[in-house]
Amino acid sequence: MSEIRAILTDIEGTTSSIDFVKDVLFPYARTRLPAFISTHADHADVQHWLHEAAKEAELVSASQQELIDLLQHWIDVDRKSTALKALQGLIWQEGYVAGEFRAHVYPEVAARLRQWRADGIRLYVYSSGSVPAQQLFFGHSEAGDLAPLFAGWFDTETGPKRLSTSYARIAEAIGEQPQHILFLSDVVEELDAARAAGFQTTLLARPPMACPAEAPHPCVTDFDAIVLG
């Protein structure tokens, strides 16, 4: 394995539990979406993302209620829509700021991120959650403000997580050769795409999951077991 100079991490299922996203964040956004849209309908960013959602759904014209129904359906099916993720981020902001919840991170994650930083490794995030949502997530985590540990943030505006071109763009953006970047994820298809772009990869199989007998990527159950280089 080449020397690792940068680590790019997924969030849901990797640094943090899927249950927190599904049981806390998604219901919070789903419940507040109608009121949020009607009270922020004149905000330029909200208008932009509603327009993008309508375009993605190929709706020529849609009422505010139709868009709310569409977005709530997308939350229910966990659609990785850039427009939905941007709107969710705006809604979650209110919850984080009001202290209604803090983002889950697995117990060893904060110390391991700090150790990697101390070892001179640059840290980046790549998640389907929007960049502002990622920054809120790590800025209001159960382990405190972890956002300053990260040197950069990437979401699906860079490209879908299962396409190798997205990883090539990220390597270019951070100015590092792909073989010196380690990508961490719980999704094999994302790791396949990263490996196709030349990245090193490690699969996170968080309990109650376990590493498969013949794992398609190096596999660990927590960050402390990750081997660099």
Ligand X SMILES: CSCCC(=O)C(=O)COP(=O)(O)O
Residue 114's nearest CA partner among 102, 123, 105 is 123
Round to whole Å and give the CA distance between 85 and 171: 23
- Please, are residues 207 and 221 in contact by the beta-carbon 8 Å criterion? yes
**CB-hemisphere CA count at 13 Å for 118?**
6
Q: Which is nearer to ligand X, 27 or 229 (CB)?
A: 27
Q: How far is the CB of 162 from Mg ion (least distance, A)?
A: 11
Which of Mg ion, ligand X, none does 176 bind, CB closer than 5 to 8 A by kind?
none
What does the binding site for ligand X look like in residue numbers (CB under 6 A)? 10-13, 21, 25, 80, 85, 127-129, 133-134, 137, 161
Which of Mg ion, ligand X, none does 137 bind, CB closer than 5 to 8 A by kind?
ligand X
Q: Which is nearer to ligand X, 90 or 121 (CB)?
A: 90
In sign, the C-alpha dihedral spanning 154, 157, 162, 164 is negative
Q: Which is nearer to ligand X, 3 or 100 (CB)?
A: 100
Q: Using CB atoms within 10 Å of the CB of residue 16, give its burial: 0 to 12 exposed, 13 to 18 middle, 19+ buried.
A: buried
Which of ligand X, Mg ion, none does 25 bind, CB closer than 5 to 8 A by kind?
ligand X
Q: Which is nearer to Mg ion, 13 or 218 (CB)?
A: 13
What does the binding site for Mg ion look like in residue numbers (CB under 5 A)? 10, 12-13, 186
Q: How far is the CB of 215 from Mg ion (least distance, A)?
A: 16
Q: Give the H/E segment covering residue 198.
A: none
Q: How far is the CB of 172 from ligand X (least distance, A)?
A: 20
Cα-trace Rg, the chain: 18
Q: How far is the CB of 3 from ligand X (least distance, A)?
A: 26
